[in-house]
Amino acid sequence: MRKIVIAGNWKMYKTQAEALEFLQVFMPELDKTPAERNVVLCVPFTNLDLLSKKLPASVHLGAQNVHWESEGAYTGEISASMLTEIRVRYVIIGHSERRQYFGETDETVNQRLKAAQQFDLLPILCVGETKQQRDSGETETHIYSQLDRDLVDVDQSALVIAYEPIWAIGTGDTCEVSEANRVIGLIRSRLSNQDVPIQYGGSVKPNNIDAIMAQPEIDGVLVGGASLEPGSFARIVNYQ
Protein backbone atom coordinates (compact mmCIF):
# COMPACT_ATOMS: atom_id res chain seq x y z
CA MET A 1 0.00 0.00 0.00
CA ARG A 2 1.44 3.37 -0.99
CA LYS A 3 1.34 6.18 1.56
CA ILE A 4 -0.61 9.37 0.94
CA VAL A 5 1.52 12.46 1.55
CA ILE A 6 0.00 15.95 1.40
CA ALA A 7 2.75 18.52 1.88
CA GLY A 8 2.70 22.31 2.04
CA ASN A 9 5.81 24.19 0.92
CA TRP A 10 5.80 27.65 2.45
CA LYS A 11 8.96 28.66 0.54
CA MET A 12 10.24 32.02 1.87
CA TYR A 13 6.93 33.07 3.39
CA LYS A 14 5.70 33.63 6.96
CA THR A 15 7.27 35.11 10.05
CA GLN A 16 6.72 33.23 13.31
CA ALA A 17 3.75 35.49 14.13
CA GLU A 18 2.19 34.69 10.75
CA ALA A 19 2.86 30.97 11.23
CA LEU A 20 0.98 31.02 14.55
CA GLU A 21 -1.97 32.82 12.96
CA PHE A 22 -2.05 30.11 10.28
CA LEU A 23 -2.11 27.32 12.85
CA GLN A 24 -5.00 28.84 14.77
CA VAL A 25 -7.27 28.48 11.77
CA PHE A 26 -5.71 25.35 10.24
CA MET A 27 -5.51 22.99 13.22
CA PRO A 28 -9.24 22.68 14.02
CA GLU A 29 -9.81 21.64 10.38
CA LEU A 30 -7.66 18.55 10.92
CA ASP A 31 -10.37 16.95 13.05
CA LYS A 32 -11.95 15.89 9.76
CA THR A 33 -8.77 14.50 8.20
CA PRO A 34 -8.60 10.71 7.76
CA ALA A 35 -5.72 9.30 9.83
CA GLU A 36 -4.01 7.57 6.88
CA ARG A 37 -3.20 10.91 5.21
CA ASN A 38 0.28 12.13 6.08
CA VAL A 39 0.12 15.91 6.40
CA VAL A 40 3.44 17.77 6.21
CA LEU A 41 4.34 21.45 6.53
CA CYS A 42 7.70 22.42 5.02
CA VAL A 43 8.47 25.81 6.50
CA PRO A 44 11.38 28.28 6.57
CA PHE A 45 14.21 27.38 8.95
CA THR A 46 13.25 30.17 11.38
CA ASN A 47 9.81 28.61 11.92
CA LEU A 48 10.94 25.04 12.52
CA ASP A 49 11.68 25.17 16.22
CA LEU A 50 8.49 27.05 17.02
CA LEU A 51 6.32 24.70 14.97
CA SER A 52 7.98 21.62 16.45
CA LYS A 53 6.44 22.76 19.74
CA LYS A 54 3.08 23.83 18.35
CA LEU A 55 2.15 21.21 15.78
CA PRO A 56 0.02 18.25 16.85
CA ALA A 57 1.57 14.80 16.32
CA SER A 58 -0.72 14.34 13.31
CA VAL A 59 1.16 17.00 11.31
CA HIS A 60 4.76 16.32 10.32
CA LEU A 61 7.34 19.03 10.14
CA GLY A 62 9.50 19.47 7.05
CA ALA A 63 12.46 21.63 6.03
CA GLN A 64 13.18 22.90 2.51
CA ASN A 65 16.86 21.97 2.23
CA VAL A 66 19.64 20.11 4.04
CA HIS A 67 23.42 19.99 3.60
CA TRP A 68 25.29 16.74 2.92
CA GLU A 69 28.00 17.19 5.56
CA SER A 70 27.19 16.61 9.22
CA GLU A 71 28.90 19.89 10.17
CA GLY A 72 31.55 22.24 8.86
CA ALA A 73 32.42 25.62 7.40
CA TYR A 74 29.38 25.98 5.11
CA THR A 75 27.98 29.44 5.74
CA GLY A 76 24.22 29.60 5.25
CA GLU A 77 23.66 25.82 5.25
CA ILE A 78 21.99 23.52 7.77
CA SER A 79 22.79 19.91 8.70
CA ALA A 80 20.49 16.92 9.06
CA SER A 81 21.19 16.49 12.78
CA MET A 82 20.26 20.15 13.38
CA LEU A 83 16.89 19.34 11.82
CA THR A 84 16.19 16.02 13.50
CA GLU A 85 17.10 17.51 16.90
CA ILE A 86 13.97 19.66 16.64
CA ARG A 87 11.74 16.85 15.37
CA VAL A 88 11.90 17.63 11.67
CA ARG A 89 10.82 14.52 9.79
CA TYR A 90 10.73 15.48 6.08
CA VAL A 91 12.94 17.59 3.84
CA ILE A 92 12.35 18.87 0.31
CA ILE A 93 15.41 18.25 -1.86
CA GLY A 94 16.07 19.47 -5.39
CA HIS A 95 13.12 21.83 -5.70
CA SER A 96 13.25 23.53 -9.10
CA GLU A 97 13.71 26.93 -7.44
CA ARG A 98 16.89 25.66 -5.80
CA ARG A 99 18.06 24.12 -9.06
CA GLN A 100 17.27 27.31 -10.99
CA TYR A 101 18.40 30.07 -8.60
CA PHE A 102 20.92 28.46 -6.25
CA GLY A 103 23.04 26.25 -8.46
CA GLU A 104 21.64 22.94 -7.22
CA THR A 105 22.79 20.11 -9.51
CA ASP A 106 21.85 16.44 -9.74
CA GLU A 107 25.15 15.67 -7.98
CA THR A 108 24.41 17.91 -4.98
CA VAL A 109 20.81 16.67 -4.91
CA ASN A 110 22.14 13.12 -4.69
CA GLN A 111 24.51 14.04 -1.84
CA ARG A 112 21.73 15.78 0.07
CA LEU A 113 19.38 12.80 -0.39
CA LYS A 114 21.93 10.36 1.02
CA ALA A 115 22.75 12.62 3.99
CA ALA A 116 19.06 13.09 4.81
CA GLN A 117 18.45 9.34 4.82
CA GLN A 118 21.49 8.70 6.96
CA PHE A 119 19.87 10.82 9.66
CA ASP A 120 16.36 9.40 9.23
CA LEU A 121 14.94 12.41 7.45
CA LEU A 122 12.42 11.48 4.76
CA PRO A 123 13.38 13.31 1.57
CA ILE A 124 10.83 14.67 -0.90
CA LEU A 125 12.81 14.66 -4.15
CA CYS A 126 11.45 17.11 -6.76
CA VAL A 127 11.80 16.42 -10.48
CA GLY A 128 10.14 18.00 -13.50
CA GLU A 129 10.61 19.56 -16.91
CA THR A 130 10.65 23.16 -18.14
CA LYS A 131 8.14 24.46 -20.69
CA GLN A 132 10.84 24.39 -23.32
CA GLN A 133 11.70 20.76 -22.59
CA ARG A 134 8.03 19.83 -22.76
CA ASP A 135 7.50 21.67 -26.04
CA SER A 136 10.47 19.96 -27.61
CA GLY A 137 9.36 16.50 -26.52
CA GLU A 138 12.09 16.03 -23.92
CA THR A 139 9.88 15.60 -20.84
CA GLU A 140 10.52 11.89 -20.38
CA THR A 141 14.25 11.91 -21.14
CA HIS A 142 14.81 14.88 -18.82
CA ILE A 143 12.95 13.29 -15.92
CA TYR A 144 14.63 9.91 -16.43
CA SER A 145 17.99 11.63 -16.42
CA GLN A 146 17.15 13.46 -13.17
CA LEU A 147 16.00 10.22 -11.54
CA ASP A 148 19.01 8.23 -12.72
CA ARG A 149 21.48 10.79 -11.37
CA ASP A 150 19.63 11.87 -8.24
CA LEU A 151 18.91 8.36 -6.97
CA VAL A 152 22.38 6.79 -7.17
CA ASP A 153 22.80 4.80 -3.92
CA VAL A 154 19.59 6.28 -2.48
CA ASP A 155 17.38 3.99 -0.40
CA GLN A 156 14.01 3.82 -2.16
CA SER A 157 12.27 2.49 0.93
CA ALA A 158 12.57 5.89 2.65
CA LEU A 159 11.75 8.32 -0.11
CA VAL A 160 8.96 10.49 -1.51
CA ILE A 161 9.11 11.90 -5.05
CA ALA A 162 7.26 14.98 -6.28
CA TYR A 163 6.63 15.40 -9.99
CA GLU A 164 6.57 19.15 -10.48
CA PRO A 165 6.39 20.40 -14.07
CA ILE A 166 8.23 23.71 -13.71
CA TRP A 167 5.84 25.55 -16.05
CA ALA A 168 2.97 24.70 -13.68
CA ILE A 169 4.62 26.05 -10.52
CA GLY A 170 3.12 29.30 -9.27
CA THR A 171 1.50 29.99 -12.63
CA GLY A 172 -2.07 28.78 -12.11
CA ASP A 173 -1.40 26.67 -15.19
CA THR A 174 -1.99 23.18 -13.73
CA CYS A 175 -0.87 20.16 -15.68
CA GLU A 176 -3.86 18.16 -17.02
CA VAL A 177 -4.59 15.54 -14.38
CA SER A 178 -4.42 12.70 -16.88
CA GLU A 179 -1.01 13.92 -18.07
CA ALA A 180 0.28 14.24 -14.49
CA ASN A 181 -0.98 10.71 -13.88
CA ARG A 182 0.80 9.45 -17.00
CA VAL A 183 4.17 11.02 -16.13
CA ILE A 184 3.94 9.79 -12.55
CA GLY A 185 3.30 6.29 -13.87
CA LEU A 186 6.46 6.62 -15.99
CA ILE A 187 8.44 7.78 -12.96
CA ARG A 188 7.20 4.74 -11.03
CA SER A 189 8.25 2.44 -13.85
CA ARG A 190 11.79 3.75 -13.44
CA LEU A 191 11.98 2.91 -9.72
CA SER A 192 13.06 -0.33 -8.10
CA ASN A 193 10.55 0.12 -5.26
CA GLN A 194 6.97 0.39 -6.55
CA ASP A 195 5.74 1.66 -3.17
CA VAL A 196 7.52 5.02 -3.26
CA PRO A 197 4.78 7.65 -2.83
CA ILE A 198 4.79 10.03 -5.81
CA GLN A 199 3.19 13.44 -5.49
CA TYR A 200 2.06 15.95 -8.07
CA GLY A 201 3.02 19.61 -7.57
CA GLY A 202 2.28 22.77 -9.54
CA SER A 203 -0.71 25.07 -8.95
CA VAL A 204 -2.58 22.59 -6.77
CA LYS A 205 -5.68 24.43 -5.50
CA PRO A 206 -8.91 23.68 -3.63
CA ASN A 207 -10.73 23.56 -6.98
CA ASN A 208 -8.52 20.89 -8.58
CA ILE A 209 -7.41 18.75 -5.62
CA ASP A 210 -10.30 16.26 -5.81
CA ALA A 211 -9.61 15.51 -9.48
CA ILE A 212 -5.86 15.21 -8.86
CA MET A 213 -6.26 12.78 -5.97
CA ALA A 214 -8.75 10.68 -7.95
CA GLN A 215 -5.93 9.69 -10.34
CA PRO A 216 -4.65 6.17 -9.65
CA GLU A 217 -0.91 6.91 -9.87
CA ILE A 218 -0.95 10.10 -7.75
CA ASP A 219 -0.25 9.56 -4.04
CA GLY A 220 -0.34 13.12 -2.80
CA VAL A 221 0.53 16.70 -3.59
CA LEU A 222 3.23 19.27 -2.93
CA VAL A 223 1.50 22.61 -2.54
CA GLY A 224 3.12 26.04 -2.68
CA GLY A 225 0.85 29.11 -2.88
CA ALA A 226 -2.33 27.40 -1.69
CA SER A 227 -0.60 26.10 1.46
CA LEU A 228 -0.11 29.65 2.74
CA GLU A 229 -3.79 30.23 3.39
CA PRO A 230 -5.15 27.95 6.15
CA GLY A 231 -8.62 27.54 4.66
CA SER A 232 -7.34 26.52 1.26
CA PHE A 233 -4.68 24.15 2.61
CA ALA A 234 -7.30 22.58 4.89
CA ARG A 235 -9.56 22.00 1.87
CA ILE A 236 -6.65 20.34 0.08
CA VAL A 237 -5.76 18.13 3.04
CA ASN A 238 -9.43 17.18 3.37
CA TYR A 239 -9.89 16.38 -0.33
CA GLN A 240 -12.82 14.22 -1.30
Q: Rule CB under 6 A: is residue 203 a binding residue for ligand PGA? A: yes
Q: Rule CB under 6 A: is residue 94 a binding residue for ligand PGA? A: no
Q: Rule CB under 6 A: is residue 38 a binding residue for ligand PGA? A: no
Q: Given candidates 58, 102, 152, 170, which one binds ligand PGA under the rule CB under 6 A?
A: 170
Roughly what angle, to the nearest 10 degrees, separates helices 16-29 and 230-237? 40
Considering only 66-74, 142-150, 207-215, 222-230, which stretch makes contact with ligand PGA by CB under 6 A? 222-230
In the complex, what is the shortest distance from the CB of residue 227 to ligand PGA, in angstroms, rounded to a whole number? 7
Select from 196, 114, 105 the least CA-distant residue to 153: 114
Q: Given candidates 219, 225, 232, 237, which one binds ligand PGA under the rule CB under 6 A?
A: 225
Write down the catalytic residue from 67, 95, 104, 129.
Answer: 95
Q: Given candidates 5, 39, 204, 237, which one binds ligand PGA under the rule CB under 6 A?
A: 204
Contact 7, 199 (CB under 8 A): yes
Whole-number Å distance between alpha carbons of 160 and 171? 24
Q: Rule CB under 6 A: is residue 161 a binding residue for ligand PGA? A: no
Q: How many Cα atoms are found within 13 Å in the side-chain-facing hemisphere of 12? A: 2
Cβ-defined contacts of 191-194 (< 8 Å, 24+): 191/147, 191/151, 191/156, 191/161, 192/156, 193/156, 193/157, 193/159
Considering only 33-41, 75-83, 102-110, 219-227, which stretch makes contact with ligand PGA by CB under 6 A? 219-227
Largest CA distance in the chain: 48
Size of the site for ligand PGA (CB under 6 A): 13
